[in-house]
Amino acid sequence: MAAVDTAQKEASAIALPGLGRALISAGKLTQKTAEDIYKKSQISRSSFIAELTGSGAVSAADLAYTVASVFGAPLLDLDAIDPMRLPKELLDAKICQAYRVVVLSKRNNRLIVATADPTDQEAAEKIKFTTQMGVDWIIAEYDKLTKLVEATSKSVSESMDTLTSGSEFEFDDVSVEEAPEAADTGVTEVEDAPIVKFLHKMLLDAFNMRASDLHFEPYEHTYRVRFRIDGELREIASPPIAIKDKLASRIKVISRLDISEKRVPQDGRMKLKVGPDRVIDFRVSTLPTLFGEKIVIRILDPSSAKLGIDALGYEPQEKERLLHAIGRPYGMILVTGPTGSGKTVSLYTCLNLLNKAGVNIATAEDPSEINLPGVNQVNVNEKAGLTFATALKSFLRQDPDIIMVGEIRDLETADIAIKAAQTGHLVLSTLHTNDAPTTLTRMRNMGIAPFNIASSVILITAQRLARRLCPACKTPADIPHEALVNAGYDENEIDGSWVTYRPVGCSACNNGYKGRVGIYQVMPISEEIQRIILRDGSALEIAEQAKLEGVRSLREAGLHKARIGLTSLEEVLAVTNE
């Protein structure tokens, strides 16, 4: 048995990249920490070094110094480099972006290349094969290197300068079937190479910047492109207004939409191949406005549903309540919150936990955002008569164990979902309400009888997403005692044993924030809450009872996140009501 354990440990160590093994040898990481970071990088499909520096396990400066010492390579501060003086034509910009390297100079038949990971053999071989030259590594800090790579890559303004050029370019990275409607509607017009280049760059930039959405917005005299990064919209480019129609048509062609129809909204999907085995999915929505079609593209990340419940930010007690509810054989679990609050990811995380060989799971969504193997997913199509209600009726004839309804929008859907929950099925769904207690009164207002609500709903989770403070640059905030009390902290809590933090901003984050964290109100439906529902009690009565049972409000959950330093107090106040 000991021999087996030793073999497993050795196999695990071998699976680590060279950088991970080097850091373990240098005493900068433990074996377990390195393995955990490597697993996260595999799940999120990012590089080991990006996950390593992003997690805060090792700072970029410490990492560069350690790597330079271990491998005996020179260490360079990239702040001393002028991006405009770097050689531009020695290595393709796509390779620089893909492997996070920058060519500093050429000496005889060898390239001097800045990297943060000299163990990356794939990068070395790719550079050698492409340039037919040898590679000498110079070690640089990963955050500064990333910044320099972006600065030396083709800028948005340069992309726009080529919009009137006629250079040839094949947009073969997008894996789609052309729309049948495009055959006789002048599709050659939208195969304009500069338009293709510009769209391709916007999609890749959005993915690299970890944006959730891209907005293409036409106005009377201007046109702008904005990315939503960590919940905030940021203007990225202002291309010429003249490209709006061609760009809209190109997006519609690869999304299999009707390019001749500009009077009504349309929804579609497209895929972008960014590597030999990686494809990004996008959901596309068009909307006719006064001055053209506004297009919003959402980046769909299937790996987000596989991160696990711990990555979502549930506190131990909240996690225990949720896991207990999804472990029950029947009943209804509701996830509530505004659009963009992470409801779909929460639902799919639960489905991922329930997705086993002996379980039949069916989902109805509008549309399906995350593809989960082993789950029978149905896209609602109201034009064809496939509504949530009709899908649910069909599910009940398909011998399901678990049903997920994308959203309960009307009484008919709610009635069928409740009957399914009462007849031995576990039903998961979403509603748009402000918090957990108001969800029950909202269902009552939809016309659902109180006894049906009380006998079917077993748990409600309300949630919000708050921006997470950057661990590298956050600093203690000097907030007056009175302001903390007004925010919602109890007098007894403000004892000086903890501090709140504020954002600062550095090269590794977005104005002091990096990523987002969930704020949750997890309310099980106890017998006492059932009695309040049966006597048609108000949301206030339900909230008071929930508080007595230890259920935090969204504000209280957010204040706890600020107290432990995950987010700032101003962010909590912005995303929660009190």
453: in domain: yes
Q: What share of the chain is helix, strand, coil (3-state, %, to 5)?
A: 45, 20, 35
Neighbours of 320 (CB within 10 A): 12
The dihedral region occupied by 561, where left means phi > 0, alpha psi between -120 and 50, and beta the remainder, is alpha
Distance separating alpha carbons of residues 353 and 312, to the nearest angstrom: 14
318: in domain: yes
How does DSSP classify residue 423?
A: T
Distance separating alpha carbons of residues 94 and 516, to the nearest angstrom: 28
pLDDT at 181 over 60: no
Query: In terms of C-beta density within 10 A (0-12 exposed, 13-18 middle, 19 or more buried), how is residue 451 classed?
Result: exposed
Cβ 576 vs Cβ 519: under 8 Å: yes
pLDDT at 542 over 90: yes
198: in domain: no
188: in domain: no
Model pLDDT, residue 148:
82
Q: Identify the CATH number of the domain in which residue 265 sits.
A: 3.30.450.90
Query: In terms of C-beta density within 10 A (0-12 exposed, 13-18 middle, 19 or more buried), how is residue 534 classed?
Result: middle
Q: Which of 190-204, 441-455, 546-560 has the lowest mean pLDDT?
A: 190-204
Residues 246 and 349 in one domain: no
9: in domain: no
Residue with tokens 């030259």: 133
Domain of 30 in residue numbering reads as 18-158
Query: In terms of C-beta density within 10 A (0-12 exposed, 13-18 middle, 19 or more buried), how is residue 160 classed?
Result: middle
Residues 352 and 439 in one domain: yes
Give the Cα-Cα-Cα angle 255, 299, 178 (nearest 5 degrees): 15
Contacts of 568 (CB under 8 A, 6+ apart): 467, 469, 477, 500, 501, 502, 503, 512, 562
Model pLDDT, residue 328:
92
Provide the pLDDT confidence category of residue 64 given band limits of 50, 70 and 90: confident
Report residue 214 as tokens.
């891209």
What one-letter code names the amino acid at 533? I
Distance separating alpha carbons of residues 313 and 305, to the nearest angstrom: 13
Please state, for a pLDDT cut of 90, what percent of the chain lies above it.
27
pLDDT at 253 over 50: yes
Domain count, the chain: 3
* Of residues 380, 426, 372, the one with CA closest to residue 404: 426
Residues 291 and 324 in one domain: no
Distance separating alpha carbons of residues 285 and 266, to the nearest angstrom: 6
449: in domain: yes
The domain boundary residue, chosen from 143, 158, 173: 158
Neighbours of 447 (CB within 10 A): 11
Residues 277 and 378 in one domain: no
135: in domain: yes
Distance separating alpha carbons of residues 408 and 405, to the nearest angstrom: 7
Q: In what order do the strands lie in the sheet with 232-237?
A: 232-237, 223-229, 211-218, 292-300, 278-289, 266-275
Residues 116 and 41 in one domain: yes
Residues 345 and 294 in one domain: no
pLDDT at 411 over 60: yes
Provide the pLDDT confidence category of residue 192 given band limits of 50, 70 and 90: low
Provide the pLDDT confidence category of residue 169 given band limits of 50, 70 and 90: very low
Q: At what angle do helices 18-25 and 60-71 cross, to 10 degrees?
A: 90
Model pLDDT, residue 105:
85
Each residue of 25-56: pLDDT tens digit?
Answer: 888 888 888 888 888 777 767 778 887 877 77
Provide the pLDDT confidence category of residue 227 given band limits of 50, 70 and 90: very high
Residues 414 and 354 in one domain: yes
Q: Which residue has the higher pLDDT, 109 or 262?
A: 262
Max mean pLDDT range (72-81, 90-99, 320-329): 320-329
Helix (H, G, I), strand (E, B) or coil at 456: helix
Residues 313 and 453 in one domain: yes
Helix (H, G, I), strand (E, B) or coil at 437: helix
| C-alpha count within 13 angstroms, C-beta hemisphere, residue 272 | 22
Residues 62 and 87 in one domain: yes
Report residue 308 as tokens.
């696990």
Give start and end residues of each alpha helix (H) in 28-75: 31-44, 48-55, 60-71
Q: Identify the CATH number of the domain in which residue 537 sits.
A: 3.40.50.300
Report residue 544 as tokens.
């008071």
pLDDT at 156 over 50: no
Model pLDDT, residue 271:
81
The domain boundary residue, chosen from 245, 279, 300: 300
How does DSSP classify residue 19?
A: H
Q: Identify the CATH number of the domain in which residue 151 sits.
A: 3.30.300.160
Each residue of 317-352: pLDDT tens digit?
Answer: 999 999 999 999 999 999 998 887 888 888 888 988
The domain boundary residue, chosen from 277, 300, 323: 300
Distance separating alpha carbons of residues 117 and 131, to the nearest angstrom: 20
Residues 151 and 283 in one domain: no
Residues 218 and 357 in one domain: no
139: in domain: yes
* Of residues 484, 503, 564, 487, the one with CA closest to residue 232: 503
Q: Which residue has the higher pLDDT, 370 or 338?
A: 338
Cβ 19 vs Cβ 137: under 8 Å: no
Give the Å distances, CA to CA, from 480 to 486, 492, 568: 10, 15, 14
Q: What is the DSSP string of 476-509?
A: E----HHHHHHHT--TTT-SSS---EE----TTS
Rg (CA), the chain: 26
Provide the pLDDT confidence category of residue 302 given band limits of 50, 70 and 90: low
314 alpha-carbon distance from chain centroid: 17
Residue with tokens 């049948």: 180
Residues 322 and 224 in one domain: no
Provide the pLDDT confidence category of residue 167 given band limits of 50, 70 and 90: very low
Cβ 569 vs Cβ 500: under 8 Å: yes
